[in-house]
Amino acid sequence: YLTLPHMSRAITVVILIQTIFLLSVYAEILVTTNGGPGYASTNLPFLVYQKALLEFKIGQASAGGVIAVILANIVAFFAMRAVGKNLDK
């Protein structure tokens, strides 16, 4: 077993912050792979762009945007709880 004393909360905060960052990655996917091959490197922001501006499916793009905001808020909630626990100790 690997033991990381006093590191679990810091690791949790870093993972949550990186998750929020990954929800905003768009340009890198567009420039490098354009979402392909197939849909292998497509994430939610790129899918919203693809549905709205390339396929003109505005309803699906709006639903994807709402899901992205909800996911970001859930991750931010847990990040704030983890940071709050770090400040208490």
Within a domain: 17: yes
Query: pTM for the complete prediction?
Result: 0.75
User: What is the helix, strand, coil percentage profile of the chain, to 5?
Assistant: 70, 0, 30
| Residue bearing the bigger pLDDT, 78 or 2 | 78
How many folded domains does the chain comprise? 1
Q: Where in the sequence is the domain holding 73, given as residue range(s)?
A: 8-84
Within a domain: 14: yes
Within a domain: 57: yes
DSSP secondary structure letters along 32-51: HTTT-STTTT--HHHHHHII
Within a domain: 53: yes
Within a domain: 89: no
Percent of the chain clearing pLDDT 70 (strictly above): 96
pLDDT tens for each residue of 26-57: 888 899 998 888 888 898 999 999 999 999 99
Distance CA 74, CA 88 (A): 21
